[in-house]
Amino acid sequence: MNLVIFGPPGSGKGTQSLQICSYVSASVIDCGKLLRTAALTITQSEDLRAGKLLPDELVIDVIKEKLKELIKVGDNFILDGFPRSVVQCHALFEMSSELEFEISCLVKFEVSEREVFARLLERFVCKACGGLHDVVLGRCISCGSVEYERRSDDLKVESIKKRLMLYSAVERDIVNLFRSRSIKVLSIDAGRSVDEVAADLRTQLLMFI
């Protein structure tokens, strides 16, 4: 079974991919890690740090090489972090024809932006009352003050915002492309605990096999 795991940053794709391969015979392709390694060698790492995406061509080449390797030895895969653009999505479908593999399912992780921020950053604390500062609302949920304290740097906040924007810009198009190829799309509520998501995912995937 070959799976594509799709969802916003901070939705737990990596963690869940590792859980899935404990009961599905497949290797996890951690695309972020793979690309960071590739990017270091070609000095694109600045873009990664700023939350930008790498050029499609490079990403596609790196993923294709990895897929070739796995398919050569008859392994299945769990793709975590690819495709991230419509161009990459078309490239994946081309690879599936060329390398002769089927994509069994697109697993789509649903999680709110607020939850992503809560997970990726330390909680922000209201300067006036010590309550929880809501990043999405831009104010304290207790007293409404916009002043807050945090330890995370602005670069990180901006980087997450950018990655979320990039994700929501392509989310619908990518899902529709998979649907147009009659590939099953499995939506998972990823806002729950790691164990709850893992159990739900396992039930649904085992039913599907």
Task: Please tell me the number of Cα atoms within 13 Å of 133 on its side-chain side.
Answer: 20
- Give the binding range for Zn ion (CB under 5 A) out of 1-9, 55-63, 69-77, 144-152: 144-152
CB of 126 to Zn ion, least distance (A): 3
Q: Is 13 annotated as a binding residue?
A: yes
CA-closest candidate to residue 89, choices 2, 176, 187: 176
Q: Three-state DSSP class for 104?
A: coil
- Between 150 and 192, CB nearer to Zn ion: 150
Position among 136, 143, 146, 206 found at the interface with Zn ion (CB under 5 A): 143
* DSSP assignment letter at 5: E
Q: Is 183 in the site for Zn ion (CB under 5 A)?
A: no
Q: Is 142 in the site for Zn ion (CB under 5 A)?
A: yes
In contact, 53 and 84? CB cutoff 8 Å: yes
- Give the binding range for Zn ion (CB under 5 A) out of 104-112, 135-143, 171-179, 198-206: 135-143
CA distance 119 to 73: 37
Position among 20, 38, 126, 170 found at the interface with Zn ion (CB under 5 A): 126
CA distance 134 to 168: 20
- Give the binding range for Zn ion (CB under 5 A) out of 9-17, 42-50, 102-110, 118-126: 118-126
Q: Is 44 in the site for Zn ion (CB under 5 A)?
A: no
Helix (DSSP H) and strand (DSSP E) numbers for the chain:
8, 9
Position among 1, 48, 128, 186 found at the interface with Zn ion (CB under 5 A): 128
Position among 145, 152, 187, 204 found at the interface with Zn ion (CB under 5 A): 145
What is the layout of strands, in order, in the sheet containing 124-126?
A: 139-140, 132-134, 124-126, 148-149
Q: Is 129 in the site for Zn ion (CB under 5 A)?
A: yes
Query: What residues pair up with 77 in beta bridges, in sequence order?
Result: 27
Residue type, 134: D
Q: Is 81 annotated as a binding residue?
A: yes
Position among 12, 51, 81, 131 found at the interface with Zn ion (CB under 5 A): 131
Q: Is 55 annotated as a binding residue?
A: no
- Between 1 and 129, CB nearer to Zn ion: 129
Query: What residues pair up with 108 in beta bridges, in sequence order?
Result: 6, 187
CA distance 104 to 25: 13
| Residues forming the site for Zn ion (CB under 5 A) | 126, 128-129, 131, 140, 142-143, 145
